A = this chain, B = another copy of it.
Amino acid sequence: MLTTNPFDDDKLREECGIFGVSGAEGAAAMVALGLHALQHRGQEAAGITSFDGRMFHTHRAMGHVAGNFDRDETIRPLHGTTACGHVRYSTTGETSLRNVQPLYAELATGGFAIAHNGNISNAMRLRRDLVRRGAIFQSTSDTEVIIHLVATSSYRTLIDRFIDALKQVEGAYSLICMTPEGMIACRDPLGIRPLVMGKLGDAIIFASESVALDVVGADYVRDVQPGELVIVKGKDIQSHSPFAPQAARPCIFEYVYFSRPDSISQNRSVYSVRKAIGAQLAIEAPVEADLVVPVPDSGVPAAIGYAQESGIPFELGIIRSHYVGRTFIQPSAEVRHLGVKLKHNANKDLIAGKRVVLIDDSIVRGTTSLKIVQMMRDAGAKEVHLRIASPPTRHSCFYGVDTPEREKLLASKLDVEGMTGFIHCDSLAFVSIDGLYKALGEQDRSSDKPGYCDACFTGDYPTTLTDQDELAPPADQFALLEERVS
């Protein structure tokens, strides 16, 4: 059982984090540490594959990195100086081990392991074609499509086959691959999902976020560029750009919520961006109040920014438990009616009789906002003003983020006034889309050339969405039930 999920149920969820090391003793142990630092990007399963020059070794498990990859007896058999790993949150129902990455296949060119952050938006169509040609899939993951495209490519070398495969896929992908000849890291042409490169001594490291470099003591070198393939063979590092150049569109929500505040992305501190959004929000939507209270923990940087800009004191009006398990919800029917506050508790003495500005990073379904506003009122707050450090989330993401169906997004159904009523707050405001770009150091958003993927706010998707446009067939007919080594 997963015992810790500090993220609210009512958040968008990043589906994956990836981490790779080439050229270090104890590579798998470093990957375990790196994945631990990326745990917030996927808490459902984790896997590590290593290569020792002769054999590939894989360990995958449902659950957190800690608890699955923190014992010597697990890490030691993952021999070799090259390793990569993956943490995963899955959107669809199938959560069995066979979908846990890295995926591995034995190709005519040798072993091939792959770890993927993102989502292939034409995976269904490609899969159907491959099955017709005799391919047998071992998972329901979109990522496996890439492997079969590589396996059946008519090119000769692995790199040529790999590029051939990538040219057929559409959507978002940051990839770390391992072959007997070396490690390949790449990002889709728009650079939708992040991927950074670091260095520790002679070892080269790739990671979804720079915090994972910090945890192993590595230095941030640069972002892998949109459309770039970096190939590491021993100490030789090559950069390829096989795709036609395009204007990059990295995911803007990484700054709003996904990335850890201590990450640096494209030379920007995520913490500073969030404080800037908070400050911008104080300018765009000021209010007379006694306290600025963050919804912990994701609202804290924006709340500090709001407090500093507005001069209203920052206070911990909501205390979050450190021990909240994902499944610890009303253990029995008798107590289900109680106002259970396992995750958050109001700091009553502080709140009673006060006008409170609540700061949260985003609103998805609105259910948590509703409860937290009520908690403030129960604690005696005189007024509750809710300020959101992103624009209204109105559209689904098809690039590797778990979004509810559109009709469940509060902002797709209601305008700000409607939402204010639903949430029962005294006032509600979101930062504007232009304000968000400003906090990122840009001008107002350019609708021609927006600079970021902001489709969840604007509906402006930067790629075609083949599977969405077709009637998607069922993935397969197979339910692999729980399996056990008894």
Contact = CB atoms under 8 A, between A and B. Distances in A.
Nearest to A56: B478
8 contacts: A4-B323, A28-B332, A29-B331, A56-B477, A58-B480, A216-B338, A216-B340, A260-B345
A304 interface: yes
Interface of A: 1, 3-4, 6, 24-26, 28-30, 32-33, 36-37, 39-40, 43, 54-72, 74-78, 97, 100, 104-108, 110-111, 131-132, 134-138, 147-148, 151-153, 180, 211, 214-217, 260-262, 264, 269, 271-272, 297, 300-301, 304, 308, 313-316, 319, 321-325, 327-335, 338-342, 345-350, 476-486
A160 to B, nearest CB: 14
A26 B214 CA distance: 47
Given A26-B335, A59-B481, A107 B131 contact: yes
Q: Which 4 A-B pairs have the closest CB atoms?
A: A26-B334, A66-B325, A269-B349, A134-B152
A86 B246 CA distance: 54
Contact of A486 (B68, B76, B323): B68
B478 A58 contact: yes
Contact of A304 (B64, B147, B314, B485): B314
Nearest to A484: B61
Given A70-B327, A106-B476, A211-B345, 20 more contacts: A4-B322, A24-B334, A33-B335, A36-B328, A37-B321, A54-B477, A55-B477, A56-B478, A63-B485, A64-B486, A66-B328, A104-B478, A134-B151, A215-B341, A215-B342, A216-B335, A217-B341, A264-B348, A271-B350, A483-B485
Contact of A62 (B40, B58, B68, B486): B486
A483 B100 CA distance: 10
Contacts of A340: 33, 215-217
A304 B350 CA distance: 13
Given A65-B323, A316-B301, A484-B68, A478 B136 contact: no
Contacts of A63: 484-486
A109 to B, nearest CB: 10
A463 to B, nearest CB: 27
Contacts of A78: 481
A60 to B, nearest CB: 5
Contact of A106 (B111, B137, B214, B345): B137
Given A32-B331, A322-B6, A485 B97 contact: yes
A148 B134 contact: yes
A215 to B, nearest CB: 5
Contact of A334 (B25, B61, B297, B334): B25
A348 B262 contact: yes
A342 B62 contact: no
Given A40-B322, A325-B70, A151 B135 contact: yes
A405 B480 CA distance: 36
Contact of A75 (B110, B136, B331, B338): B331
A321 to B, nearest CB: 7
A158 to B, nearest CB: 13
A106 B477 contact: yes
Given A345-B211, A477-B56, A482-B485, A316 B135 contact: no
Contacts of A348: 214, 262, 264, 269
Contact of A315 (B37, B304, B325): B304
Contacts of A28: 332
A314 B262 CA distance: 16
A90 to B, nearest CB: 14
A358 B93 CA distance: 46
Contacts of A37: 321, 342, 345
A108 B66 CA distance: 40
A187 B65 CA distance: 43
A316 B300 contact: yes
Given A58-B481, A332-B75, A485-B97, A66 B3 contact: yes
A322 B342 contact: no
A335 B108 contact: no
Contacts of A147: 136
Contacts of A108: 131-132, 134
A152 to B, nearest CB: 4
A335 B59 contact: no
A141 to B, nearest CB: 13
B331 A33 contact: yes
Contacts of A54: 477
Contacts of A271: 316, 319, 347, 349-350
